[in-house]
Structures are given as structure tokens and as C-alpha cells.
Chains A and B, each alone.
Chain A
């Protein structure tokens, strides 16, 4: 069986899992287990498909069916698609396991989640513009239902509406762009779009439409405002999918259309993407720091990470524009690597946060606390995710940020003055965002898992059920493997990056090391770093063992020192007091948010008023046609009712009168 057939099998298995969730009569554990296991199998088949496609190179397309005039629905897997399929299904393994033991996985969630997975798989493999849009919209629609899964919650409904509005505005732009391409190529086939000539002006137009359209879905600043509420409202494992995976389909779209189909022609394309990437990274980190709600905090942190990914994409496109293929591959490698890493650690963080919220009954960091002692495994998993996203070596977040820095370094050495000026500046801003990300995650872990319990629910929290622990450990393992296994992983990603952009391949690893094309520029060996860190732990442990004999046994369970006063749990530092100095020191950046938000608030307000108009416009037919008719029938009825008196004699009178009138009509007419 070829890679593409395996992919189809995976999609079909997801559909089967959705149907089972819909029609299974006994809700609860058995159904959840079956749906989850089927999702797991489907994900594993998808992983196999991606692996096969990556190793086999070019795989033939799978022609499904044809609709005139839109052309064939065909699935294709080049390096980029295979990587995305791998990303979706690898995270799918974790979320499927998680869904088995979460009570949030009811019938509706169980039905829509596999559909969501299937839609995403088609989006990243379909090679026809029309069907791409169809499945893109399907993906949005299905995820919309997942956002509003909690029936009767007004907040969810409002959030879902905003999400729908932004997603559709973005999709509308994509539609325009694709129609322009269709009009020029006279086909929706990606293969023909590649060969079609577009005038520079038209190309720029398509680029802008596509960038903004996909950018809205990716949640880059300033189109990010829908993300916090949406991730907050969705079930935990769906938040993990939306933040970790769905955003990446938008990045995929940018890469596919701008790099593969259009071919980068102007240097300002890469520059625009780079600029928005920097903006998203810095502001995303800042807004995350200001959040008290753990899921919203994670959502803003996703905005930051999308910024980092866009930085890589921007550098890669600059590399193509200035005709430096090595730089281009490095940029795309950094972006794709960070994409994969972010999927794992953000998925993991949403899962951990989900259980913490479940147990403490609140998402407010100020009302959690002390969970590390009550759910040590969840806390450990969350901490690994937090360290990975904070780019602590040798975890995976560091490796991809290292590649981003190296891409910037390579860009700084090009001859173009603009890149020489801006690449180091961008690297500095990345470091700036990184430093704040560290603070964000110490705040998140510190607020939820350390210190005293700040509410009664948090004080009686329980460890996550077994299957949930397994799913989180799987994600932890992913973070470790992608970090330490960089010498094995990086060449695959670099290969995919080079092949989809039609660039010569670049060697990025040798033995235990990774490097940015040239070992003279820099080398990094994550496995060696891990080994040495673990090995060097022996030194302080040995030092600590000195004088062990003459030491009194350690005493624990003592209240913290408070200058001799009695300890009270309100004395510990809470999450919102944690970031207070930063808010004061950097208040101008928060002012930027209000500034940036204003026009977009206007857009959503416009959306609301437009909805009002629609609501008023909709009943026109009713008021003009339906309602008067109904009223007429009603009054006629009342008139007729007056004839009914309930007296048998009156009814006899009616009958006689009727007979008399009928006789008169019949015989009177005949001239009698």
C-alpha cells in the first residue's frame, strides 16, 4: 500500500470513528474508549503514511473524483504535505489518548473531533484550489461546533461567533485570491497554477490576499484577537489541536501558495512576513504575561510562537528573493521545525492545563496553586512543556530557536544592506520575546502548581487518570525526542523544506551534531548537551554527599520563613503579582495593544451591527406576506366561531337554512 492509500485509510478511519460517536447508543466510557482507540489507530496509520511519503520521496497523486468545472479532487503528498500529515497525526495520537479519559468527550465532541482531524488531513494534501477551499471551510465549521460545545453558555456562543466571523473574513480573501488564479489558469489544479504566468501586480495582490487570509487563521498580530476566547471555550484536547495543529495548516497555506505556487518574486514579501512575525512574537509574549487565565495565557503564547514560525518563513522567503538557496532552506527549516515543536509542547501544555482546570474548578491562576504536590505527574509534564517552550536547552524549543538564530546570522552575512541591518535586529527581538516567554511560563507553572493551594477545590485536587498520564507522557517524549534527536530529525525537515521550495538540498547534520549548512558557522549537539548535563549532576551530588555522616536528618514540612510571624497562604506570591513589575516597566507595549485592538474591535462591532441588520432584514417576508395572511385566517375563524353556539336546535336551523338556500339556487336557476 502506498503512502497516499494509507492516508486515505487514516481519513476513513477518522470518519468511522466520528460515525460511531454519533450513533453509539450507550454514551460514556465504552463509547469513549472505542472512539478514542479508533482515533489512535487512525492517527498511527497517518503517521505511517507520512513516514512512508518522506522516505519514498515523490508519491503518485490519488485521484478521487471529478466535478466539472472544478476538476479532480486529488490528494498528493510532497515533502511539505507529508511533514504536515506527520504533525497532525503525531499530535493526534496524544489527543486521542487524552480524549479517552476526559469527561469533556461527549457525543458532540466525539463526533466533531475526528471530523476535524480528517478535514485537516485533506486540507494539507489536496492539490486543487476549489477543494482546498471546501475543506478549509469544513475545517472551520467543524472547529466552530467544537468551540460552542458547551450548550447554553452565552460566552461560548459569543466566542464562536467571533471565531466564525474572522475565519470567514479570511476565507473570503482566500476565495478572491484563488478566483484570480483560476481566472488566469483556467483551472483549479495546483499543478497548472505553478505554470501560469501572472503579472507582478497581480502576483503581489494574490500574495497580500493570501497572507492576510491565512494570517487571520494563524492568529498573527493584529488578527489574533479571536484566539484566547476560542481556545478557552473549546474542550482541552481540542484546544491542543487548534493551537498546536490547526494554526499550522494556515502556515502551510502561506508556504504552499506563496512559495510553491506563486514562487517568491519580490523581496518585500519575506520582509512583510518577517515584520508581522516579529510583531506577533513580541506582543504575543507580552499579552500572555498579562493574563490570569491559564488557557488564555497559553493562547497568547501561541500567538508568540506563530510569530517565531513566521520569522523563519520570512527569512526563507527573503533567501529565495536574494537568491541564496542555503539561507532559504535554513529559514524554512527553522519555521517547520518550530512548527513541529510547538505542536508538541503547546499540545502538552493545554492537556496539563486542562486537567489542572478540571480539578481546581477554575482557570484563574490566582485561585489554583500547590497542584504539584497533588498531581506530580501532570505537574512534571507541564513543567517539561514549559521548559521546552521557554527554549531551555537541550529541549526541542531551543533547537528550533537556535536554527532561527542561525538563519538570522546567515542572513546578516548577505550582501543586501537591508537584510544585514534587520536580521540582527530581528534576532534581538526574538531574544526579547524569548525572555518574556520564560517569565510567562514561570508565572503559569508557579501560579498553578507551586506554593499553597489558593482555593478549596485546588486543595483537594487529584492526579490525572491513567490514560491521560499516558497521553501527556507521550507528548513529553515527543518534546525530548525532537530536542535530543535533532541530528536525526533535522535532515528530514531540511529535505522537505528544500524539496517543496525546489531548492538544492542542504546538509544540516552529521553524526551527533546539527549545523546551519556549514560547520564553520556553528555546531550544536543536543544529545551531547543532555549527556553532559546529566553527567555533571554527579559533581554537586557528590559534593552534597560530603559530611553526610555528621549531618542531622533533613526536616521537612516546616512553614516558610516570614520573619518570625505565622505563615499565611496569602503571603505567597500570586500569579498576578508576579508580573506586576513588568507591567509597570513596559506599560507602553500594553498601550500598543489598545491601539492595535481598536480598529479590529470596530470590525467586530461592525459584524455585530451587520448581524442586527440581517436580523431585521430577515423577517421582511414574514411581516409583509405571511403575517397578514395569518391574521386574515385568524379573524375569519373568529367570525365563523361566532356561528357556533353549541345548541343542537341552532345547528338544525343551519341545516334547514342551508337546504333551503341550496334548493332555491338549484331550482330558482332553472326558472321554476
Chain B
């Protein structure tokens, strides 16, 4: 694909993810309400919330330094960068020249690090506790994620996002047991990283008042919330782009773009639907019990590695 083509796909990807992120989270809210037999908010509620917050006055803690103020912006910029890297509209990474899957894994650490720092920086109890919980979950999930990434990259022979995506799409990467297990493990880590129950530890609404977000208000809160919605959708896009790139463009064309956008929306809605069902069917878990739950994902990841070694 030409450079112009790649750039246009990249811009399209970033725009779609940025603008649709509140919509998908709104869908998750509606789903939750329905499963609770409530009427629930309208699906566009998140957009209204963001607009409302944008207009509100911002109040900043006396303890806060520039880290606290900059965090929402840095978080959103990092997620937009990942949105440019992920191959979900086409089977190439629009920004493949900048980095690979390992870069993406580490870019997800950027918002986490800054939100944890911001939580501590605000001097708030909830912020600090939320920050440390978020990091514990990361420490449990990141090794699993990396193992899955390695298995997938070994199957594809490269850590380039585009290469993996196109090899999965064309079937050049055999759909072996190893592939399906790594898909399962990756889906699990996506679920955890999205901060869904029972893993909504850092931003737990009920017990921690949304953790690191506690002290944010007004415009900053709007950007922070938006960047979290964006992170969730980017995670889903990464999963779909790597493991289920069906419907993605292989050559650039307006029609192909339309088809791939539609295919992405269908796949993403399905993923959010499954996530919502799982989340709302589960009870809250005690925080210290969570490490045990991640063994499931580790087991799947290790098995997929074993199967890769055994060539099954």
C-alpha cells in the first residue's frame, strides 16, 4: 500500500476509535441496565456526560503537581498512537514503520503509569489505592499478555502487527490448537485490561470512587474518561485485528474501507455484548482473590505455548 493510503487508513482508524469509543461504552451501560432489569440511560449518554463535564469548572487538589494535570492528555495521546498502530481496518499496520506488537504492549503501560502517578500525586486516599491496584493487575496480566504475543509472533514468524494480521487473515498462519488457545488467553487479558468486573480494581466505582479519577473534575475528567473509553475500544480493536481480521481490507479502496468499517462495528458490538454478559453475570471478587483468577489465563497461555512447541 502507498504511503498516502496508509496515512488515510491511519487517520480513519484514529477518528473511528476516538469518536466511537463513548458509543461502545454507552452500549455497555445499556446492556448492564437491561440485565439488571432497569431502563438505563440512552446509548448516547456518554457523549452528553463528556459535553457536560467540558463545561464545568475544574477543581484541582492542593497536593497536585503537573503530573496530575498532564495525565489525561498523555493517556489519550498514547491511546491514539496505538489506534494508529493497530491493524483493524486493513491487514497492515498503518504505522508499521514506527513499531511492532511489543511497542503496543508497552504503550498500554503509559496511561497506567501516569494514572497511578496521578492518583498518588493528588494526595487522595482513593487515588493512591486505585493506583496500586491497577499496577498489581498489570503485573499479573502483562507476563501472560507477553507470552501470548510471543506465541502468536512465533506462529507468524514476526512481531510486526501487519504481518501477523495478514497471515491470520489469509490462513497462512495455521488455525491450530495453539492459535485458539492463545486467542482465548488474549481475550481474557483484554477483558481484564478493559477493567471489567471482577477486575475493575483500579477504577472500582463502588468502593474506590473510581480510584485515580477521584480528584479529576470538569474538562480533565472528561478527557480522562474519554481516554479510558478509548483504551477499552483500542484493546478490542487490537484483539480483533490480530485474531479475527476477517473483513479487513487487503487492498485500499473506498468500498473495501466501508466493508471493513462495518465488519469492525459488527465484531466489536459482538465482543462488547459478550463482555457485558460475562461482566454482569459475575459477582464482585475480593481484591486479594484476583491473582488466583488470572491463573486461568496463564494456564491457557502456557498451554498454547506448549501446543506451539508440540506443533499441534
- Complex alpha-carbon distance, A540 and B220, angstroms: 10
Q: At the interface, yes or no: B260 with Cβ under 8 Å from chain A?
A: no
Q: At the interface, yes or no: B107 with Cβ under 8 Å from chain A?
A: yes
Q: At the interface, yes or no: B109 with Cβ under 8 Å from chain A?
A: yes
Residue from the list A431, A537, A556, A560 in contact with B74, Cβ < 8 A: A537
**Interface set, chain B 111-146, CB cutoff 8 A to A:** 112-113, 116-117, 119-129, 131-133, 135-136, 138-139, 142-143, 145-146
What's the nearest-Cβ distance from chain B to residue A626, in Å?
Answer: 64
CB within 8 Å for A562 and B125 given contacts A432-B142, A581-B132: yes
- Interchain CB contact under 8 A, A572 and B128: yes
**Interface set, chain B 136-195, CB cutoff 8 A to A:** 136, 138-139, 142-143, 145-147, 150-151, 153-154, 157-160, 163
Binary contact readout B52-88 vs A (1 if CB under 8 angstroms, 0 otherwise): 0011111111111111000011101110110010000
Q: At the interface, yes or no: B227 with Cβ under 8 Å from chain A?
A: yes
Binary contact readout A311-338 vs B (1 if CB under 8 angstroms, 0 otherwise): 0000000000000000000000000000
- Interchain CB contact under 8 A, B117 and A446: yes
What's the nearest-Cβ distance from chain B to residue A463, in Å?
Answer: 14
- Complex alpha-carbon distance, A54 and B245, angstroms: 47
- Interchain CB contact under 8 A, B95 and A532: yes
- Interchain CB contact under 8 A, A528 and B97: yes
What's the nearest-Cβ distance from chain B to residue A232, in Å?
Answer: 24
- Interchain CB contact under 8 A, B288 and A560: no
Binary contact readout A368-402 vs B (1 if CB under 8 angstroms, 0 otherwise): 00101100100100010001001111000010001
Q: Which residue of B lies closest to A427 (CB)?
A: B150
- Complex alpha-carbon distance, A571 and B226, angstroms: 29
Q: Which of A10-18, A498-506, A541-549 touches B?
A: A541-549
Residue from the list A424, A567, A584 in contact with B147, Cβ < 8 A: A424
Residue from the list A436, A442, A555, A579 in contact with B116, Cβ < 8 A: A442
Q: At the interface, yes or no: A112 with Cβ under 8 Å from chain B?
A: no
**Interface set, chain A 551-603, CB cutoff 8 A to B:** 551-562, 567, 569, 571-573, 577-582, 584-585
- Complex alpha-carbon distance, A540 and B147, angstroms: 33
- Interchain CB contact under 8 A, A522 and B159: yes
- Complex alpha-carbon distance, A61 and B67, angstroms: 51
Q: At the interface, yes or no: A452 with Cβ under 8 Å from chain B?
A: yes
CB within 8 Å for A547 and B54 given contacts A424-B147, A439-B139: yes
- Interchain CB contact under 8 A, A372 and B65: yes
- Complex alpha-carbon distance, A551 and B215, angstroms: 18
Q: Which residues of B contact A539 (CB under 8 A)?
A: 18, 76-77, 80
What's the nearest-Cβ distance from chain B to residue A371, in Å?
Answer: 10
Q: Which residue of B lies closest to A584 (CB)?
A: B288
What's the nearest-Cβ distance from chain A to residue B306, in Å?
Answer: 9
**Interface set, chain B 98-117, CB cutoff 8 A to A:** 98-100, 102-103, 106-107, 109-110, 112-113, 116-117
- Interchain CB contact under 8 A, A522 and B158: yes
Q: Which residue of B lies closest to A373 (CB)?
A: B65
Q: Which residue of A lies closest to B105 (CB)?
A: A431
Q: Which residues of B contact A373 (CB under 8 A)?
A: 65
Max chain B C-beta neighbours (<10 A), residue from A379, A393, A436, A546: A393
Q: Which residue of A lies closest to B57 (CB)?
A: A552
What's the nearest-Cβ distance from chain B to residue A359, in Å?
Answer: 16
What's the nearest-Cβ distance from chain B to residue A549, in Å?
Answer: 10
Q: Which residues of A contact B257 (CB under 8 A)?
A: none
Q: At the interface, yes or no: B232 with Cβ under 8 Å from chain A?
A: no
A positions within 8 Å CB-CB of B: 370, 372-373, 376, 379, 383, 387, 390-393, 398, 402, 405-406, 408-409, 412-413, 420-421, 424, 427-429, 431-432, 434-436, 438-439, 442, 445-446, 449-452, 512-513, 520-525, 528-529, 532-534, 536-537, 539-541, 543-544, 546-547, 550-562, 567, 569, 571-573, 577-582, 584-585
B positions within 8 Å CB-CB of A: 18, 51, 54-67, 72-74, 76-78, 80-81, 84, 95-100, 102-103, 106-107, 109-110, 112-113, 116-117, 119-129, 131-133, 135-136, 138-139, 142-143, 145-147, 150-151, 153-154, 157-160, 163, 209, 214-215, 218-220, 222-223, 226-227, 287-288, 291, 305, 309
Complex A-B, nearest 9 residue pairs according to Cβ-Cβ distance, in ascending order: A573-B128, A446-B120, A552-B57, A556-B60, A435-B139, A431-B146, A560-B124, A540-B76, A536-B77
Q: List 21 A-B contacts (CB under 8 A).
A: A379-B65, A383-B67, A402-B102, A409-B154, A446-B120, A523-B97, A523-B160, A524-B98, A528-B95, A529-B81, A533-B77, A536-B80, A543-B76, A543-B226, A544-B219, A551-B219, A552-B56, A556-B59, A556-B64, A572-B63, A578-B128
